[in-house]
Amino acid sequence: MQFENTREFARQLDKEDKLSRYRHEFIFPKVNGKEVIYFVGNSLGLQPRSAKKYVDEIMKDWAELAVEGHFYADKPWWDYHERFSEKLAKVVGANPSEVTVMNTLTVNLHLLMVSFYRPSGKRYKIICEEKAFPSDQYMINSQVRFHGYDPEDAIVEIKRREGENNFRTEDILQKIQEVGEECALLLIGGVNYYTGQVFDMETITKAGHDVGAFVGWDLAHAAGNIELKLSEWNVDFAAWCSYKYMNSGPGNASGCFINKKYHNKKDIPRFEGWWGHNKERRFLMEPEFHPEPTADAWQISNAPILALAPYLASLEMFDEVGMPALIQKRNKIVAYLEYVLQEIDKDVESTFEIITPAEQEDRGTQLSVFLHGEGRELFNYLMEQGVITDWREPNVIRLAPAPFYCSFEDMYEFGQILKKGILSKQKV
Ligand SMILES: *Cc1c(COP(=O)(O)O)cnc(C)c1O
């Protein structure tokens, strides 16, 4: 499609956009009385209008029913989390029995490592990507030390080549080969948080299995963003937070995937609690643990219903729209943003560079832009103009136009603001 960098053209794209009405289902913050241009749905998604209603329902049931709400609320609390399985399974490409919601992301990855990182003998190493999200680094480091190993020796990082912004699949496969039977676990972010690069999860998972390792994925930046087929790819486990692309609210509950081949398997250990106990027998309070025959066996505590309520509100919207429609709009709006950036770059004499992969299948919603010469000042200027981006050291802004609520006109408008900001600085 031949794009044009004009307001009329952007408005025409919005008119043709089948998802445009969803913009009104979200609440935008305002700067100078105007709704912001929101590029940080990869950090904290906007609030769906329906979220408050779902929370209010729980507050009302709690007030009117108190403990009876566990069984007699409109949406009873004792199995509230089960409302997620089918819908979440569609988002991540899994069987409903393979997904559950519980805890938060880093906590879940720790718990899943109880099951899937059990170093012994020669096989004790973890392969991850260099400069992983800090929480993942701390988690992997502390797990390795917990098991009595030296992180310097037990953690193997996949590296980018000198002067390159993105990882090459061939280098990842080679590293897996190199570590071979010493590899206990591969644990990588499915979409790199810094560059937005999408990893070839199917190929990498297979390569990990070929050397006898377990393979898990941190899908913080992938869930609700890219197409996932966790079952088909034969992934062992995965977890994601819900407050980024999935718009569930700050710090909210994480989703987990545990491949069905591990359900009911006695040789896969797990930390257990009463919410993972067979639900028909849960309230018999018997001493022996009978696991649910699903990913729910990994649940420990009773679910945080007030937190799950807005997550459910958001998930129902995902279910209504479906990932294919979101991905279709995503591809178009990201391509348009890229085009607008390239047009502006011509006018401002190559001040910036997109470090996200250029191929559509290697990226999702996010474009990371390296600013040459420009610094934090430009970021601050954008904030003052009502453009919310985020800043990463040393000189990168990340732009993620979430297809649920961003418009093509936002992209055009952003381009104009950016150009003005850079030109006014170049003059002085
Ligand atoms: C956002 C993010 C996290 C956040 O972890 P929490 O436990 O939810 O605080 C972890 N890992 C990655 C890769 C992330 O992008």
CATH number at residue 343: 3.90.1150.10
Nearest CA to ligand 1 atom 8: 105
In a shared domain, residues 311 and 405 = no
In a shared domain, residues 129 and 278 = yes
In this prediction, residues 275-286 reach a mean pLDDT of 87
The residue from 321, 353, 374 where one domain ends is 321
In a shared domain, residues 270 and 376 = no
The residue from 321, 344, 376 where one domain ends is 321
β-partners of residue 26 are 48
In a domain, 336, yes or no: yes
> What pTM value is reported for the model?
0.96
Whether 227 has a pLDDT exceeding 60, the answer reads yes
In a shared domain, residues 352 and 221 = no
Give the confidence band of 374 by pLDDT, cuts at 50, 70, 90.
Answer: low
Averaged confidence pLDDT in the chain:
95
In this prediction, residues 145-166 reach a mean pLDDT of 97
According to the annotation, is 134 in a ligand binding site? yes
According to the annotation, is 133 in a ligand binding site? yes
Where does ligand 1 bind, in terms of residues with CB under 6 Å?
Answer: 104-106, 133, 135-136, 189, 193, 218, 220-221, 241
The pLDDT of residue 183: 98
- 3-class DSSP assignment, residue 387: strand
Whether 428 has a pLDDT exceeding 60, the answer reads no
E strands, 60-182, in order: 99-102, 125-129, 155-158
Q: What's the number of domains the chain is made of? A: 2
Nearest CA to ligand 1 atom 15: 220
Give the confidence band of 285 by pLDDT, cuts at 50, 70, 90.
Answer: confident
Whether 243 has a pLDDT exceeding 80, the answer reads yes
The residue from 259, 292, 321 where one domain ends is 321
In a shared domain, residues 120 and 232 = yes
The pLDDT of residue 378: 87
In this prediction, residues 325-331 reach a mean pLDDT of 98
Give the confidence band of 395 by pLDDT, cuts at 50, 70, 90.
Answer: confident
Give the confidence band of 427 by pLDDT, cuts at 50, 70, 90.
Answer: low
198 CA → ligand 1 middle, Å: 16
In this prediction, residues 229-238 reach a mean pLDDT of 98
The pLDDT of residue 371: 86
In a shared domain, residues 131 and 229 = yes
HSE (side-chain half, CA atoms, 13 Å) at 64: 9
351 CA → ligand 1 middle, Å: 31
According to the annotation, is 136 in a ligand binding site? yes
β-partners of residue 367 are 399
The pLDDT of residue 375: 75
E strands, 279-340, in order: none
In a domain, 1, yes or no: no
Tokens of 342: 């390239």
In a domain, 138, yes or no: yes
> What is the identity of the amino acid at 255?
G
Whether 84 has a pLDDT exceeding 90, the answer reads yes
In this prediction, residues 8-18 reach a mean pLDDT of 98
Query: Ligand 1 pocket check: which of 104, 106, 142 to mutate, most ligand atoms within 8 Å of Cβ?
Result: 106
In this prediction, residues 301-322 reach a mean pLDDT of 98
In this structure, the number of other CB atoms found within 10 A of the CB of residue 62 comes to: 15
According to the annotation, is 368 in a ligand binding site? no
Q: Which atom of ligand 1 is nearest to the CA of 109?
A: 7
123 CA → ligand 1 middle, Å: 27
Of residues 141 and 377, more confidence is placed in: 141
In a shared domain, residues 247 and 366 = no
**Distance separating alpha carbons of residues 352 and 39, to the nearest angstrom:** 17
In a domain, 372, yes or no: yes
Percent of the chain's residues with pLDDT above 90: 89
221 CA → ligand 1 middle, Å: 9
In a shared domain, residues 306 and 328 = no
**Distance separating alpha carbons of residues 384 and 354, to the nearest angstrom:** 23
Range of the domain at 25: 7-48+323-427
In a domain, 2, yes or no: no
In a domain, 272, yes or no: yes
In a shared domain, residues 23 and 119 = no
In a shared domain, residues 196 and 229 = yes
First CA to last CA distance, the chain: 38
In a shared domain, residues 316 and 234 = yes
In this prediction, residues 160-170 reach a mean pLDDT of 97
Q: What is the CATH number of the domain that holds 264?
A: 3.40.640.10
Give the confidence band of 191 by pLDDT, cuts at 50, 70, 90.
Answer: very high
Tokens of 18: 């089948």
129 conformational bin, left if phi > 0, alpha if psi -120 to 50, beta if neither: beta
Q: Give 50-77 pLDDT, tens digit per residue.
A: 999 999 999 999 999 999 999 999 999 9
**Distance separating alpha carbons of residues 128 and 151, to the nearest angstrom:** 12
According to the annotation, is 115 in a ligand binding site? no
In a shared domain, residues 28 and 13 = yes
Q: Which atom of ligand 1 is nearest to the CA of 132?
A: 13
Backbone angles phi, psi at 89, to 5 degrees: -60, -35
In a domain, 91, yes or no: yes
According to the annotation, is 337 in a ligand binding site? no
